[in-house]
Amino acid sequence: MIVCRCEEVTYKELETTATKYKCSARELKLRTRAGMGYCGGRSCRTMIDKIATTSANTDHHTSVSLKYQPPVRPVSFGTLGGKD
């Protein structure tokens, strides 16, 4: 099952990485690129957090949950300032 559609990261890959490295959600994101795609983690962020806390079998009360950012698109100067 694919969890992160943008980067095509599967549930099995996330679970295996979390178990092997005892990752926090942030580490899991950096190791697998899940949540780093076009949507910025809006569709998969909660699943990554859950996998990190359940699969790693560690207590991450001090870790910060993942944030997501809106995608950035280039804008031309003509669009910003108008055309004369």
**Model confidence pLDDT, tens digit, residues 27-83:** 999 999 999 888 888 889 999 999 988 875 555 555 555 665 665 777 777 777 776
How many domains are contained in the chain?
A: 1
- Give the CATH number for residue 37: 1.10.10.1100
Do residues 60 and 53 lie in contact, with contact meaning Cβ atoms separated by under 8 Å? yes
What integer pLDDT is reported at residue 4 of this predicted model? Answer: 93
80 within domain boundaries: no
**Which domain covers residue 6, as residue numbers?**
2-67
82 within domain boundaries: no
74 within domain boundaries: no
72 within domain boundaries: no
Q: Model-level pTM? A: 0.68
Place of tokens 């998969």: 44
Q: Count of CB atoms within 10 A of residue 75's CB? A: 8
**Model confidence pLDDT, tens digit, residues 10-20:** 999 999 999 99
